[in-house]
Structure 1
Amino acid sequence: MSGFRTLDFIKPLSSLIPEVELPYEKVVFDEKIVYTIGAAAIYLLLSLPLSGVNPNKIADPFYWVRLPFASEAGTLLEFGVLPIVTSAFLWQILSGFKFIKVNFTNIYDRQYFQSLQKVFAVLIAIVYASLLAISGYFQPIDAFAKTAATAGATFWANTLIVCQLGTATAIICLMVELLEKGYGFGPGVMAFIAANAATKLSGSLFGILSNPATLESNGVVIQLFRNIFNKPFTNAIYDVFARSGEANFIQVYLVIGVLGLVSYLHHFRMDVSIKSSKVRSMVSNYPIRLFYCGGLPILFSYSLLYNANILTFSLTKIFGGSPYLASWEIDPFSKKTYELTSGLLYFLSTSNSACCVYFNILRIVAFTLFVTITSATFGRYWYAMSGSSGKELAKQFKDQDIVVVGHRDATVGKELNKMISSASVIGATLLGAIIGFAESSGLAKGLVAGVVVGVLCSLSLLEQVMSEFQQSGAANSQFSQVFGV
């Protein structure tokens, strides 16, 4: 048993776990575009209501952490990509710190590791769905008020909800694997987050659908024009800044301001001079960007918060809980959300409900520090655990017959590691501080974090698309002919 590894648990099940096969031949650029857009479209179509659940009649305690994970309350995307992200972070960290042994150069170890992540992601979804169903989360608000949290829906109704969410997560896992195995542009999680963030931002600005409860347009710009024609000018302007049920202009201005700052910082980089060691050529630059980890530090911080909130809310509603840990109350105005009002978890939230102004100030400081510290810690270790360290980059250069100007082969890895570690830690810290402070007031309601992560994911995907576009040859691409590129 001394040679037994964690991956050995998954070996007997590996033949039973659905898997996307590697493409038999190279997938051309146009096909990758189609696969990526198709997978993102299917993901967005999964935002269908759960059978037996009315999304308009449930109160959502997780509304402020949903958008970075592309999740929708009361739908098949109740958890979005959270189970997949949580599983990936957990097992990658365990392997990075050598708690489990994985040989990533071995094809079988990589397959077992991916299977382990998929199985664990589905298990997370099943466990969370079971806890939320038992706690009464999926019940209508009026029914929840009249019955005990554990009484509510029937056993078979809860079972159906759990099966739906478990199946949806399994389908999302396969779509992520499809993109990551070369059929499209990945990572697949980034494509789904980017697509969801784009639809949310456009819907918040120009959505023409109306909320059935308030009859207000989802899009704040559309609502502004409706107000101007139906209300006095002063009331029309005040309404689009103060409304709480849908997006308002305060959130829009916060998003624009933070996006402008993040876009400005995104251009900061350190250039490494490189050239070919085989062919005489001009010296070119390899950029190491300030946001070396992209939006992953924010995803990591918010995944901790999302998981903690799901577990605490469920266990509190089932067993009563303790006000020192967390206490939720339904928003008396909208009746659509739960708000944290006290407890330890309150200080790690963006809730704007509190017993006194001092608690609000302390919560703003605590939340900002939490996001900043967890993001910085993530940036400190992730680049080495994910195979993006200076040593790995130096190996890639060597395999491609590329040398770093002014450095010997023996010192390239060390020098690159210094630059990468600095960019990773500083970039993650700055990003965490910006998002943490912007969200801490509770005014953004997760829109800033979700849009910024979506934009960073979009930029990462765009770099892959442009790189593939240039390597595959623009003249042979139907994409270039359609758009005149």
Structure 2
Amino acid sequence: MAWTGIILVLYLVMANIPLYGIPAQATETSVSLQRIIFASSAGSLMELGIGPIVTAGLILQVLVGAKLIDIDLNNPEDRKTFTAAQKSLAILFAIFEATMYVIGNKYWQGTGITPSWGVKLLVILQLSFAAFLVQLFDEMLQKGWGIGSAISLFILAGVAHQVFWSFLGYVPRVAETYGFIPALIKERSLLLIARPNGYPDLTGLLATVAMILFLIYVQAMRVEIPVTSARLRGIRTRVPLQFMYVTNIPILLVGIAVADLQLFNGIIQNLAGPTSTWARYYQDFVYYVTPPRGIIPAISDPLRTVTFTVSWTILAVAFGFMWVELAGLNPRDQAERLIESGMEVPGMRRNPRVLESILAKYIYPLTLLSSLIVAAIAIVADIFGAYGTGTGILLAVGIINQYYMMISYERALETYPLLRKLLGEG
């Protein structure tokens, strides 16, 4: 817990240290999907956040799952190779993104400042080194110095920051950027039920609470499959499958894809200029797949709301099925694991194909249904202006649940030392 806290504090400090060599940045009060997914902070050492690590890991996972790279992640040596490749690719992504930011004149556009190549190189080095530190933090936590992973920790911190800012944020002399409570104190108006430009309002607050409660409820639901053990004299038990079988993975993957589109949109606009036709087309495309923030923006541009809803639903279902296959959660792999553990379905032959056909009746419908549910939660939450974005709430609740399970597991091992020996951790 102490190391986890130290790393979290270091991340928050880095997120508030401005890059040396760039003009002073205005306070960023808008909620961006890119900032939520990548846990980044504009104009600071955490400009890239966890983006390079997440993007590198996603690409390698897809290549391994599609068998384009011959690596067995169950083999310790192959897993080391995969980890080393992910680290190297993440650093290359960090250098590439930092270079594109500098070449695209992201920090100096419209300021009248023409930086020297020395200053540009210094900015690239700062961003690349910060990305390396984030990767080091993640490695420390995953090797047992802390709890969980730095990626999950930083996403949770970013969402918590956005929720807190939306609720209590305050910027003097800028009325529109007040959080809900300061705006309520200042304006004392029922118009705060729905505010323009996606600013925090009462509708968003109620949507945030409702979505959190609903997520807690559905994550506790299970679908149980009766099985028996031939090794333990036919003892009957049940294998619980989570009702949210794909958890928040589909929306996380959709969010990463859209966040990457937003990232390159800024770079393309800076490089090509606002008058470029193809750059405008790309900007329009990104706009129509980006969530509207609040009731008023959603109603004022129904075409955007429809395209966002349809595209996110289709992508969530596609990513859900893709993840089930890549992560070994499909009926075939699950059946093999049950057979290896000595389990079988009562009244059925102990045959992997038979067990696979039975599991398929549960797993594929659960995959479709859970993908649609997480997509619906994210879409509805964004349309109603939930604090921290719908994607952020999904990720935050899932991460908190993971931390709860990990801490409960550690406490169980401390309470029952014999259990540690049985699990081979003694």
| Smaller-chain TM-score bracket | 0.7 to 0.9
Residue 462 in structure 1 maps to residue 404 in structure 2: yes
Which sits farther off after the overlay, 45-54 or 215-224? 215-224
Structure 2 equivalent of residue 416 of structure 1:
359
Structure 2 equivalent of residue 44 of structure 1:
12
Q: In the superposition, relative to structure 1, how do residues 98 and 40 fare at CA in structure 2: closer, same or farther (>3 Å)?
A: same
Q: In the superposition, relative to structure 1, how do residues 250 and 137 fare at CA in structure 2: closer, same or farther (>3 Å)?
A: farther
Residue 256 in structure 1 maps to residue 198 in structure 2: no
Contact 2:313 2:376 in 1 (8 A): yes
**1: CA distance, partners of 2:179 / 2:28:** 21
**2: CA distance, partners of 1:42 / 1:278:** 50
Q: In the superposition, relative to structure 1, how do residues 105 and 435 fare at CA in structure 2: closer, same or farther (>3 Å)?
A: closer
Q: In the superposition, relative to structure 1, how do residues 129 and 420 fare at CA in structure 2: closer, same or farther (>3 Å)?
A: same
**2: CA distance, partners of 1:55 / 1:428:** 42
**1: CA distance, partners of 2:243 / 2:275:** 42
Cα RMSD after superposing both structures: 3.6
Structure 2 equivalent of residue 163 of structure 1:
125
Q: 2:329 aligns with which of 388, 413, 434?
A: 388
Residue 134 in structure 1 maps to residue 74 in structure 2: no
**2: CA distance, partners of 1:184 / 1:383:** 28
**1: CA distance, partners of 2:284 / 2:196:** 27
SS of alignment partner, residue 288 of structure 1: strand
Q: 1:31-180 counterparts in 2 under 5 A?
A: 33-52=1-20, 53=22, 56-57=25-26, 63-139=32-108, 144-145=109-110, 147=112, 152-180=114-142
Q: 1:13-24 counterparts in 2 under 5 A?
A: none
**2: CA distance, partners of 1:321 / 1:217:** 27
SS of alignment partner, residue 271 of structure 1: strand
Q: Which amino acid aligns with 2:376?
A: A
**2: CA distance, partners of 1:137 / 1:373:** 33
**1: CA distance, partners of 2:250 / 2:394:** 12
**2: CA distance, partners of 1:325 / 1:254:** 37
% same residue = 23
**1: CA distance, partners of 2:192 / 2:222:** 42
Q: 1:200 aligns with which of 149, 154, 162?
A: 162
SS of alignment partner, residue 239 of structure 2: strand
SS of alignment partner, residue 171 of structure 1: helix
* 1:291 CA drift (Å): 1.9
* 1:296 CA drift (Å): 1.6
1:49-77 deviation per Cα after TM superposition (whole angstroms, max 9, x unaligned): 33334664277998243213322222222
Structure (1 or 2) with the greater helix fraction = 2
* 1:318 CA drift (Å): 1.4
Structure 2 equivalent of residue 332 of structure 1:
none
Q: Which amino acid aligns with 2:266?
A: F
**1: CA distance, partners of 2:24 / 2:198:** 14
Q: In the superposition, relative to structure 1, how do residues 322 and 414 fare at CA in structure 2: closer, same or farther (>3 Å)?
A: farther
Q: In the superposition, relative to structure 1, how do residues 248 and 79 fare at CA in structure 2: closer, same or farther (>3 Å)?
A: farther
Structure 2 equivalent of residue 22 of structure 1:
none
SS of alignment partner, residue 66 of structure 1: helix
Contact 2:247 2:398 in 1 (8 A): yes
1:372-418 deviation per Cα after TM superposition (whole angstroms, max 9, x unaligned): 11111011111221233334434444555444545443233443344
1:243-299 deviation per Cα after TM superposition (whole angstroms, max 9, x unaligned): 769643333222223333333433443112345544469644332123222222111
Residue 435 in structure 1 maps to residue 378 in structure 2: yes
Q: 1:204-223 counterparts in 2 under 5 A?
A: 204-206=166-168, 210-212=170-172, 214=174, 220-221=180-181
Q: In the superposition, relative to structure 1, how do residues 194 and 362 fare at CA in structure 2: closer, same or farther (>3 Å)?
A: same
Residue 297 in structure 1 maps to residue 266 in structure 2: no
SS of alignment partner, residue 409 of structure 1: coil
SS of alignment partner, residue 412 of structure 1: helix
> How many pairs were matched up?
412
**2: CA distance, partners of 1:96 / 1:45:** 37
Q: In the superposition, relative to structure 1, how do residues 438 and 199 fare at CA in structure 2: closer, same or farther (>3 Å)?
A: closer
Unaligned regions of 5+ residues in structure 2, if any?
A: 418-426
1:1-49 deviation per Cα after TM superposition (whole angstroms, max 9, x unaligned): xxxxxxxxxxxxxxxxxxxxxxxxxxxxxxxx44444433433333123
TM-score of the superposed pair, with normalisation by structure 2: 0.82
Residue 272 in structure 1 maps to residue 213 in structure 2: no
Q: Which amino acid aligns with 1:124?
A: F
Contact 1:349 1:440 in 2 (8 A): no
Structure 1 equivalent of residue 309 of structure 2:
368
SS of alignment partner, residue 294 of structure 1: coil
Unaligned regions of 5+ residues in structure 1, if any?
A: 1-32, 329-339, 477-485
* 1:97 CA drift (Å): 1.0
Q: 2:260 aligns with which of 304, 307, 311?
A: 307
